[in-house]
Amino acid sequence: MTSSTSFTFRDNLLYSIWDKVRSGERLSKEDALALYASDDLIGVGRMANEVARAKSGDSVYFVLNRKLEPTNICVLSCKFCDFAVKPDSPEAYEMTIAEMLSKLRPDLHEVHITGGLHPKWPWEFYIDMVRTIKTQFPNVDVKAFTAVEIDYFSKKFKKSHEQVLRELQEAGLRTMPGGGAEVFSERVRKELFKQKIGAKTWFDVHKTAHRLGIQSNVTMLYGHIETIEERVEHMLRVRECQDETNGFLSFIPLAFQPGNTGIKTRNDFTSAIDDLKTIAVSRLMLDNVPHIKAYWVMLTAEVATIALNFGADDMDGTVGEERIAHDAGAISPMELAKGKLISIIHDAGKLPVERDIWYNPITIYPKPEWSVVSKMPYLNSVPFYNSFPDYSTVVKLVPLAPRVFGKLAEQGSVAAGPMSLRDYMTMSDDFERLDYGVAVKGKANSVLLFSKFDWAELAGKRICISAETSTSVELLRVLLEKRFGISDYLFHRYDKSNPSHSYKDYDAVLLIGDEALQKAYGGGLTGFDKVFDLAEEWCTWKGMPFVFAVWVIRKVTPETARKEIVESLERSLTNSADHFGEFGREHGAKVGMSEAEVSDYLSQFRYRFSIDEHAAMAEFEMEYESLTSNDRIAMSDKRIAKQSISF
Ligand code: SF4
């Protein structure tokens, strides 16, 4: 991250660490040990909170989820596990698929399945479990089976890790939990769980999953016999793997619950200070992992609340039964209702964001006095946000891709942000336009049609549309129909939850934002040898800039919030004017761009609008309104997500 925020620390050693963090330099093992050794807990927490804000704004995510533990019968006997029993134990249980289904509800968004390594269940039972859940509850995404379970299936059913994962994915598995990682230390493994897989196998399984498009989490079980150095080494290994695969969604520090395990720890439970410091150090060390989870079931709701200001940006979910932690003596309530979760997040001064399994926002729950600002998560929008206040009592930032911003704005829960032009055209009664936005005259480099054919040959062809587009898809339609006279094309919305969905099956693919940039600067999209920059096509045709997004503010926004938003925006643009490379460096690195490339890329955009941009918006609106297919499309997101649409 690049931050101008200055802190005063009680511990002088933290100054040099903060300098590194805010200039985007990676922290070393020694830095992590110094953070752990520091008694300036508040200083460590403030740094971590600043890093979390740079990634997630003021958002704290939660998911409506349910945990299922289909059996507690396990072939292993890990020392720290109070959950597993042998088949002859009076406490042993095995759930049928019907019992599992009876615990789910259609309004859930995630089911989290882990359990014992059952000695007798056949492979077909697991496939049937995932497939039946997905079929009966299409809205519920399946996050299932730790690396330990995947490796067990692989050995028991004589299939490779890849084969196991592919078959589960085909049945409906979407992501994997991060359990079984414990602490990546051979010393600890030999002492506590020597029959269980080690770090190498754990990473092999997760790397294979990431390669197949199955993203996952990673946990760290701390507070038992591990040393601080072993915790730091664990984080470093996670960071290294993430550099390679970019497949981890979140890092979850899990405080050890000694219960009846018989394991001697320094204290019965980890201290709140240790818990908070571990969350903060994780956030500071894992610069490439998007989210850090405060797992309230083990931390207690009270410590989890404070952790939301120490670098955590995820509260997990409504959860339901949680036998593993509970049997080992977790003192949190078995179920926190959604309302309770929301009030905990509000108490932390943060914005509750209900999410899906991939962290896409579904609904946000601001306090009535808050005005929510959309933080566009693309490189081209970096210059807008550097001077919004660190903490505001009236304005809260949430990262939203254009299409999601449009949907939430329709729900009435977002007050301002760079809205896609197409959404503004339908919501101008509620929103007022500001003289800011994202426009370009010429190439944009981030709204690209990768094609196997020339424009004139796209008649009757199948075009895949990135899930995030809003205005860009309309620009493509205008170009196809009005500029090139093609009306019989087929649009398909890309569905990343469908493993059989692949770009290569299409004749052309429209990508926007960071994904487009990644391909543009990374050698293109394999199999598509033609690349059309839609903004350039528009400019060549009309001699005008193209406006992708326009800053809007809801007309009823209270004056205090309106003033703060407009002044912050103006200050941000002034600050970043000659520093595009510096402000966009970290974001650019994620998409493979050098600082100089970022600087060139951002310099081409027009962020302050003049008469040129207003004329361009009017021109586009006129072309869009006269599209012959408008009456058939109406571009309902529901419709487009459900089916392919032919024109
Ligand atoms: S931790 Fe997992 S593998 Fe080990 S005994 Fe418990 S349920 Fe079995």
Instruction: Assess contact for 533 and 511: CB atoms under 8 A.
Output: no
Q: Categorize the per-residue pLDDT at 78 as very low, low, confident or very high, splitting at 50, 70 and 90.
A: confident
Q: Which residue has the higher pLDDT, 83 or 37?
A: 37
CA-nearest residue for atom 4, ligand 1, is 78
Instruction: Please give the distance, rounded to the nearest whole angstrom, from the Cα atom of residue 157 to the centre of ligand 1.
Output: 19
String of b and e for 252-285 (b: at least 16 CB within 10 Å)?
Answer: bbbbbbbbebeeebeeebbebebbbbbbbbbbbb
- pLDDT at residue 590 in the model: 79
Give the number of other Cβ atoms within 10 Å of residue 576's Cβ: 21
- Ligand 1 centroid from CA 209, angstroms: 21
> Does 2.30.30.60 match the CATH number of domain 13-362?
no
Fold of the domain built from segment(s) 447-542:
D-Maltodextrin-Binding Protein; domain 2 (3.40.190)
Say how many Å lie between the CA of residue 72 and the centre of ligand 1.
9
DSSP string computed for 6-72: ----SSTHHHHHHHHHHTTPPP-HHHHHHHHH-S-HHHHHHHHHHHHHHHHTTEEEEE-EEEE--B-
Average pLDDT on 374-389 reads: 92
Task: Tell me the one-letter amino acid at 525.
Answer: L
Does residue 182 have a pLDDT over 50?
yes
Atom of ligand 1 nearest to the CA of 148: 3
Spatial separation of the C-alpha atoms in residues 510 and 443, rounded to whole Å:
15
Mean pLDDT of 107-118: 94
Q: Which atom of ligand 1 is nearest to the CA of 117?
A: 8
Atom 2 of ligand 1, nearest CA residue: 116
- Measured CA to CA in angstroms, residue 633 lies from 487, 628, 645, 647 at distances of 12, 10, 8, 8
Give the residue, out of 68, 72, 83, with the most ligand 1 atoms within 8 A of its beta carbon, to mutate for a pocket test: 83
Q: Evaluate if residue 610 carries a pLDDT over 70.
A: yes
Q: Residue 494 — pLDDT band, cuts 50, 70, 90?
A: confident
Q: Which residues line ligand 1 (CB under 6 A)?
A: 74, 76-78, 81, 83-84, 116-117, 148, 196
Q: Are 588 and 597 in contact (CB under 8 A)?
A: yes
Q: Which helix (H) or strand (E) holds 191?
A: helix 186-192
DSSP 505: G
Q: Which of 117, 221, 260 gets mutated to test ligand 1 (max ligand atoms within 8 A of its CB)?
A: 117
pLDDT at residue 286 greater than cutoff 70: yes
| Stronger pLDDT, 241 or 518, i.e. the higher one | 241
- 7 in Cβ contact with 48 (< 8 Å): no
CA of 116 to the centre of ligand 1 (A): 6
Q: Nearest Cα to 346, choosing from 393, 293, 279, 382?
A: 393
Where does the pLDDT of residue 608 fall: very low under 50, low under 70, confident under 90, or very high at 90 and above? very high
Quick check: 440 and 545 in contact, CB under 8 A?
yes
Distance, in Å, from the CA atom of 361 to the CA atom of 359, rounded to the nearest integer, reads: 6
Query: Which pLDDT value is given to residue 105?
Result: 87
Going from the Cα of 74 to the center of ligand 1, the distance in angstroms, rounded, reads: 6
Residue 257 is predicted with a pLDDT of 78
Q: Which atom of ligand 1 is nearest to the CA of 77?
A: 5
pLDDT at res. 207: 97
- Per-residue confidence at 443, pLDDT binned at 50, 70, 90? very high
pLDDT tens track for 35-63: 999 999 999 999 999 999 999 999 999 99
Nearest to 197 by CA among 180, 174, 219: 180
- Give me the architecture of the 371-439+546-618 domain, per CATH: 3-Layer(aba) Sandwich (3.40)
What gap in Å lies between CA 583 and CA 409, rounded to an integer? 28
The CATH 3.20.20.70 portion of the chain extends over 13-362
Rounded Cα gap, residues 640 and 638, in angstroms: 6
Find out whether 557 and 363 touch, Cβ atoms under 8 Å. Answer: no
Q: Is the pLDDT of residue 154 over 70?
A: yes
146 CA closest ligand 1 atom index: 2
294: confidence class by pLDDT, cuts 50, 70, 90: very high
**In terms of Cα–Cα distance, which of 521, 532, 540, 516 is closest to 467?**
516
Distance 81 CA to ligand 1 centre (A): 6
Give the count of alpha carbons within 13 A of 192, CB side only: 26
Reported confidence tier of residue 206, pLDDT bands at 50, 70, 90: very high
Question: Quick check: 540 pLDDT over 80?
Answer: yes
Task: Name the closest-CA residue to atom 3, ligand 1.
Answer: 76
Q: Using the atom order of ligand 1, give the atom closest to the CA of residue 72.
A: 7
The DSSP bridge pattern shows strands 291-292 and 215-222 to be unpaired
Q: How many beta carbons lie within 10 A of that of residue 100, not counting itself? A: 19
Instruction: Note whether 303 and 272 are within 8 A (CB).
Output: yes
Atom number of ligand 1 nearest to Cα 193: 4
Q: For residue range 3-18, what is the model confidence (pLDDT) as tens digits?
A: 666 788 999 999 999 9
pLDDT score of 266: 56
Supply 391's token pair.
């903490």
Q: What is the pLDDT of residue 132?
A: 97
Question: What per-residue confidence (pLDDT) applies to 101?
Answer: 95
- Sign of the dihedral defined by the CA atoms of residues 418, 422, 427, 429, in that order: positive
φ, ψ (nearest 5 deg) of residue 194:
-65, -20
Using the atom order of ligand 1, give the atom closest to the CA of residue 81. Answer: 6
* 290 pLDDT tier (thresholds 50, 70, 90): very high
- Taking the centre of ligand 1 as the mean of its atom positions, its distance from the CA of residue 230, in whole angstroms, is 21
> Who wins on pLDDT, 469 or 9?
9
Distances (CA, A) of 616 to 436, 535, 590, 606: 14, 12, 32, 13
85, 146, 153, 196: residue to mutate for ligand 1 pocket, most atoms within 8 A of CB:
196
Tell me what the mean pLDDT of segment 304-333 comes to. 72
* Six token digits for residue 466: 């990135």
CA–centroid distance, residue 47 to ligand 1 (Å): 36
What's the gap in Å between 257 CA and the centre of ligand 1?
Answer: 14
Using pLDDT thresholds of 50, 70 and 90, give the confidence band for residue 499. Answer: low
Helices (H) and strands (E) in the chain, counts: 26, 23
Helix (H) or strand (E) holding 199: helix 199-211
pLDDT of residue 637: 38
Local confidence band at 334 (pLDDT 50, 70, 90 cut-offs): very low
Pocket test for ligand 1, best of 67, 73, 78, 263 (most atoms within 8 A of CB): 78
Residue closest by Cα to atom 7 of ligand 1:
116
pLDDT at 80 over 50: yes
Q: What is the pLDDT of residue 636?
A: 35
The Å distance, Cα 191 to ligand 1 centre, comes to: 15
**625 Cβ partners below 8 Å, 6+ apart?**
none
- Tell me what pLDDT residue 394 has: 95
Instruction: Tell which atom from ligand 1 comes closest to the C-alpha of 83.
Output: 6
Q: Say if residues 288 and 251 touch (Cβ distance below 8 Å).
A: no
How many angstroms is it from 227 CA to the middle of ligand 1?
22
Residues of the chain with CATH 3.40.190.10: 371-439+546-618, 447-542
Lowest mean pLDDT among 54-58, 442-446, 578-582: 578-582
Distance from the CA of 386 to the center of ligand 1, in angstroms?
A: 46
**What is the total residue count of the chain?**
647
CA of 164 to the centre of ligand 1 (A): 20
Indicate which atom in ligand 1 lies nearest the CA of residue 116. 7
Ligand 1 centroid–CA 75 distance in Å is: 8
Question: Is residue 641 predicted with pLDDT exceeding 60?
Answer: no
Q: Which of 244, 228, 318, 313 lies closest to 279 in space, CA to CA?
A: 313
Which among 308, 216, 604, 637 has a CA at the least distance from the CA of 443?
604
d(CA 360, CA 591): 20
Q: 195 CA distance to ligand 1 centroid (A)?
A: 10
Mean pLDDT calculated for residue range 200-205: 96
Mean pLDDT within 583-599: 85
Does 79 or 19 have the greater pLDDT score?
Answer: 19
Confidence band for 390, pLDDT divided at 50, 70 and 90: confident
Average pLDDT over residues 7-35: 93
CA of 162 to the centre of ligand 1 (A): 22
Relative to the CA of 80, which ligand 1 atom is closest? 1
| Residue in 72, 74, 326 to alter for ligand 1 test, most ligand atoms within 8 A of Cβ | 74
The predicted model gives 477-499 an average pLDDT of 85
Q: Retrieve residue 160's tokens.
A: 């490779």
Residues 117 and 75: beta-carbon distance below 8 Å: yes
Q: Is pLDDT of 137 > 70?
A: yes
Phi/psi of residue 83, nearest 5 degrees: -95, -45
pLDDT at 317: 79
